[in-house]
Amino acid sequence: MHVVLTCNFSPWSPYSGGGQRSTHSIAVHLARRGHRVDVVYTRPPWEIVNAPRGLPYRVTWAALPARHSAAGLWLRNVSALSVRRAVSRLLGPDTVVHANGEEGAALCRLRQRHPFPLVLTPRYPRYPERQLSAPAGRGPTLAHLVLQDKYAALAWVLRDADRVFPTSRSSAEEIARRFALSPERMTVVPNGVAPAFFAAAPARREERAILFLGRLEHSKGVLTLIDALCQLPSDVTCTFVGRGAAETELRRRSQASNLAARVELVPWSTQEELAERLARAAVVCLPSLEESFGNAVAEAMACGAPVVSTLSGSVPELIRHRETGYLVPPSDAWALTRELDWVLGHPEEARRAGEAARREVTKRYRWEGVVSQYEPWYERLLRGDTPRSGPPANDAVAEAPPLVGQGVMS
């Protein structure tokens, strides 16, 4: 089987995140399972992005119309045209195309000339508060791509995909609501966790040390964490590992709150370095305001770290409060302070929650098992069986516990 994956940006671009890393992991594990794999990433033509040597799949670069890779690019949708050209050169009789976002918006035009199975994994944590749909027609024009936002561009892929694979139940519900997409066209397949996090050796956990990892963005709750740190005892420190648009504000807020001596900012690290930090942290705090899956949450759980996160998006599907981690309402600095203080003051209970989290993530979120859930759909579509309906759910993600709101603090 030949699988072509598409994704805006790449894991090695100046701007990247969980979607790019997940696309890479899917490609790696499909190749290891004996499939021929190509990935079409995008970058500005003059931007140098070096993919590592020895990848088990082939990389093709499509043009991204921008000065450099960054969030919020105005002409980002136009990359769909160069992605379509790149995919057209890779097609064969046994090819399945797996898009991971709006970069696949123009593929429907290509399918009219060269039919091939198309599947989609939508990766946005939140969608606009409006109904979104693609109009009838052959596919988006250049004007459509320029004038519409990335969510409207994504609607074209959702309209034409043979199967849609949200990464969580909460994401599936949001997509069904915002795009009027039948739940029967979707199958939940979560992201996986890289082997480096399962391989992390248990270590003596640092006392009174909080760790955050991920993009330094407002949506990741980094400023809420700073506000909580202000209210915690003066011997509690916090290390932020990552980069992002909120870094300047994070530094300014730390200085203004006299937290400079207690806050450390570390550039993004390798998976092995991150795993070592996760294995040592007294508590990992990831107070996101939105998540479509929660890669960093799952990675921390795989290392056996006690995790404090929020009742937002898909996180309650990963964490059971006071069993495999700790949950607070999003954007609530006071609730976050109280939960962090409790976890730091109860290291034995926190250790047990971390161990339970590691067991659960090991069972459910290894990439080998995740990728094996795509293969039957690929094979079915290649046989010409192109159902637009089917069972809306599967066992890929555990049933989410009820959202208990403020009662989570009890």
As a whole number, the mean pLDDT across the chain is 90
Does residue 161 contact residue 186 with C-beta atoms inside 8 Å?
no
CA dihedral 250, 253, 255, 260 (to 10 degrees): -50
C-alpha to C-alpha distance for 12 and 9, rounded to whole angstroms: 8
CATH superfamily name and code, 2-191+367-382 = Glycogen Phosphorylase B; (3.40.50.2000)
CATH of domain 195-363: 3.40.50.2000
pLDDT tens by residue, 241-252: 988 889 999 999
pLDDT tens by residue, 75-90: 999 999 999 999 999 9
Whether the per-residue pLDDT at 203 is higher than 80: the answer is no
C-alpha to C-alpha distance for 16 and 18, rounded to whole angstroms: 7
The DSSP secondary-structure symbol of 193 reads B
Please state the rounded mean pLDDT for residues 116-134.
Answer: 91
Q: Are strands 2-7 and 58-63 parallel, antiparallel or unpaired?
A: unpaired
Q: Is 304 helix (H, G, I), strand (E, B) or coil?
A: coil
Q: Write down the pLDDT at residue 60.
A: 97
- CATH 3.40.50.2000 intervals, the chain: 2-191+367-382, 195-363
More confident residue, 396 or 207: 207
Whether the per-residue pLDDT at 207 is higher than 50: the answer is yes
DSSP per-residue string spanning 106-144: THHHHHHHS---EEE----S---SS---PPSSS---HHH
- Reported as a pLDDT band with limits 50, 70 and 90, residue 389 is low
Percentage of the chain beyond pLDDT 90 is 75
Please state the rounded mean pLDDT for residues 133-147.
Answer: 83
Q: Write down the pLDDT at residue 397.
A: 36
pTM for this predicted structure: 0.87
Please state the rounded mean pLDDT for residues 324-342.
Answer: 97
pLDDT tens by residue, 351-386: 999 999 999 999 999 999 999 999 999 999 999 876
